[in-house]
Amino acid sequence: MNAEPFAPAKPIHAVFLDVDGTYADYGVVPEAHSRAVRAARAAGHKVLLCTGRPKSMLPANILAAGFDGLVTSAGAYVEVDGEALLDRRFPADLAARTLAALDAHNAVYIMEAQETLQTPPAVEARLRAIIEEHFRQAPDGVEIGTSGIIGSLAPWTADTPRISKISVYESPVPVDEIAAQIGAEIAVVANSIAAEGTHAGEMFQRGISKADGVRIASAHLGIARADTIAFGDGENDLEMLSYAGIGVAIEGSHPALLDLADRTAMPPSKDGIAKAFAELGLV
């Protein structure tokens, strides 16, 4: 009797999904994307969210499909199977200097931590108006998208919180100018939830990136770098797509991201993640 030909086992991949503009559209996750995540995990692959949002800004509708881990705050926090592997926060002196500079310019911002979101009471009304206007661009976005941010705001406290990242939604001067006033420890990328021309941006500790999360999480899972796949659409996805074994940029992404990506996928409005998972043999 002839032996069956040997068929090598397919590798288990670690898949990292950006949220806004990649996995979700204005806070709404297409059902096809949820199904694709569940199917990929059922096939043995590990699927993790890798987002600029903190854990406190990930509502139930975004987490509903079930994930093997989270990389949040653009790489400042990493969690796999409920275990925190990395949790980097602003040192107290840096947090105090950053908030003082933002307040001096009357900027509208959210202090993001894994546990809570906070905004100064003086700018909360402006913040709500900006976020509601952004999510009004999608049919279901106003209720679902807005509640995922505004609904997570915690009562203001006078104590300086343990900040993971700060999102600026409006400022009278460019955010990178404010960052320069604070010092070299602060870096800035574009904010995906703000109107153009409002000097918006995301402030984080220089040297942190989503690639840190991909590296730490995949090593913890015992998955080689070559078997990692990352999907993204924004400026803060550059390092992640460059690091991953396969980098996938969403059509219409930041130009630099499209230049370095190995392939592209359609946007959430066209079920891009679901189609890409099928093309990559993940489902």
Assign residue 129 the CATH number of its domain: 3.30.1240.10
Unique residue bearing structure tokens 């990559």: 280
Does residue 116 share a domain with residue 201? yes
Taking only the tens place, the pLDDT of each residue in 114-149 is: 999 999 999 999 999 988 888 887 766 667 778 888
pLDDT at 33: 98
Does residue 99 form part of some domain?
yes
Alpha-carbon gap, residue 280 to 277, rounded angstroms: 5
pTM equals 0.92
Give me the number of domains the chain comprises: 2
For residue 164, being part of any structural domain is answered with: yes
Instruction: Determine the Cα–Cα distance for residues 118 and 75; give it in Å rounded to an integer.
Output: 20
Specify the pLDDT at position 139: 65
Same domain, 100 and 191: yes
Q: N- to C-terminal Cα distance for the chain? A: 34
| DSSP string across 209-275 | -HHHHHHHHHHHHT--GGGEEEEE-SGGGHHHHHHSSEEEEETT--HHHHHH-SEEE--GGGTHHHH
Q: Tell me: do 110 and 186 sit in the same domain.
A: yes
Contacts of 247 (CB under 8 A, 6+ apart): 229, 230, 232, 240, 241, 260, 261, 262, 263
Mark whether 75 and 103 lie in a shared domain: no
**128 lies in the same domain as 179:** yes
Can you give the pLDDT at residue 160? Answer: 60
96 and 193 together in one domain: yes
Structure tokens, 217: 């999480």
**Does the residue 166 lie in any domain?**
yes
Residue 8 falls within a domain, yes or no? no
The beta strands (E) that lie in 51-185 are given as: 69-72, 77-80, 83-87, 108-112, 117-118, 165-170
- Considering the domain architecture, whether residues 134 and 71 belong to the same structural domain is answered as no
Residue 96 and residue 201 in one domain: yes
185 shares its domain with 103: yes
State which of 170, 205, 240 marks the end of a domain.
205
Residues 106 and 196 in one domain: yes
On whether both 235 and 178 belong to a single domain, the answer is no
Q: What is the domain range of residue 68? A: 14-87+209-279
Q: Residue 135 has what pLDDT?
A: 82
Query: Distance between CA 187 and CA 26 in Å, rounded?
Result: 25
176 with 191, same domain: the answer is yes
Q: Is 98 a domain residue?
A: yes
In a domain, residue 5? The reply is no
Q: Is residue 2 part of a domain?
A: no
Which of 205, 225, 252 terminates a domain? The answer is 205
Q: Give the HSE-up count for residue 117: Cα atoms under 13 Å, Cβ half-sphere.
A: 22
Q: Domain for residue 170, yes or no?
A: yes
Q: Which CATH number is 40's domain given?
A: 3.40.50.1000
**Averages of pLDDT over each 10 residues, the chain, 283 residues:** 57 96 93 98 98 95 97 97 97 94 95 93 91 78 78 78 91 94 94 71 95 98 98 95 98 94 97 98 96
